[in-house]
Every structure is written in structure tokens, then in C-alpha cells.
């Protein structure tokens, strides 16, 4: 039971990381000291998507699943949890590239708004 909980914790951690990558600029607006952490996370998230890599949290989750006697999965967190929820087809390289570019574009837009807001004050 303990390893299953650890696997589930890693899933939640992974989801929280993705949410922070996508919308962390909103937290930076409130807590500016998060800026370097958020930018590093955005860079990592974009790298993983654009390079077609797998985040290290995925093998960690699979490791805990194996120790709990559960089946792991191939591919990454996005393929396993997000793509089936958002898209009916399997993840393709072009979809993965679009996700990476979307993360960069969204955060660029959020930071542009923050920059404009800071300059006006």
C-alpha cells in the first residue's frame, strides 16, 4: 500500500509541476521571488516536450508502481494522463511540439502582461 501511495504522490507532484509550468507566471505576479524558479521550470518543461524526452518523474512513478505490484506504463506523464483526457488520438511528435511551443507562448504572453503592469506602476 505504501508504494502505491508514493506512486500516486508522484502523479500529484507531476500534475502540480505541469500546472506551475503553465500558469506559474500568475504566482510570480504575487510573489516575484518565484521568477527564477518558474523560468527554470518553464525551460525544463519546454525542453522535455520539444526534445521528445520523458520527465524523470515518470520513471520514478513507474518504479513505485512496480514495487506496489502494479503495472507501469510506457511513454510519459502527458501521454498517460493528459493526452487521453484532452485528445482522442495518441500523442504524436507534432502534438508534443505544439504543447512545448504553447507553454512558451502562454508564459511569454503572461510575462509580457506582468512586465507591462510593472512598468505602469
pLDDT at 117: 85
68's CB contacts (< 8 A; 6+ apart) are 1, 2, 3, 4, 6, 7
| Dist CA 101 CA 5 (whole Å) | 33
pLDDT at 39: 95
pLDDT tens profile 1-42: 699 889 888 888 988 998 999 899 999 989 999 999 999 999
pLDDT band at 67 (very low <50, low <70, confident <90, very high): very high
Once rounded to an integer, what is the mean pLDDT over residues 50-74? 86
Which carries the bigger pLDDT value, residue 52 or residue 108? 108
pLDDT at 85: 62
pLDDT at 97: 86
Which carries the bigger pLDDT value, residue 50 or residue 78? 50
Give the distance, in angstroms, between the CA of residue 101 and the centroid of all CA atoms in the same chain: 13
pLDDT tens profile 82-93: 656 655 466 678
pLDDT at 74 over 80: no
Amino acid at each position: 500500500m505504501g508504494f502505491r501511495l508514493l506512486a500516486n504522490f508522484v502523479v500529484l507532484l507531476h500534475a502540480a509541476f505541469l500546472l506551475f509550468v503553465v500558469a506559474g507566471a500568475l504566482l510570480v505576479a504575487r510573489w516575484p521571488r518565484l521568477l527564477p524558479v518558474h523560468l527554470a521550470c518553464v525551460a525544463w518543461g519546454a525542453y522535455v516536450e520539444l526534445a521528445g524526452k520523458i520527465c524523470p518523474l515518470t520513471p520514478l512513478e513507474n518504479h513505485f508502481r512496480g514495487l506496489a505490484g502494479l503495472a507501469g506504463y510506457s511513454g510519459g506523464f502527458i501521454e498517460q494522463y493528459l493526452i487521453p483526457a484532452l485528445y482522442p488520438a495518441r500523442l504524436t511528435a507534432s502534438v508534443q511540439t505544439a504543447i512545448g511551443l504553447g507553454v512558451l507562448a502562454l508564459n511569454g504572453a503572461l510575462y509580457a502582461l506582468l512586465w507591462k503592469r510593472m512598468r505602469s506602476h
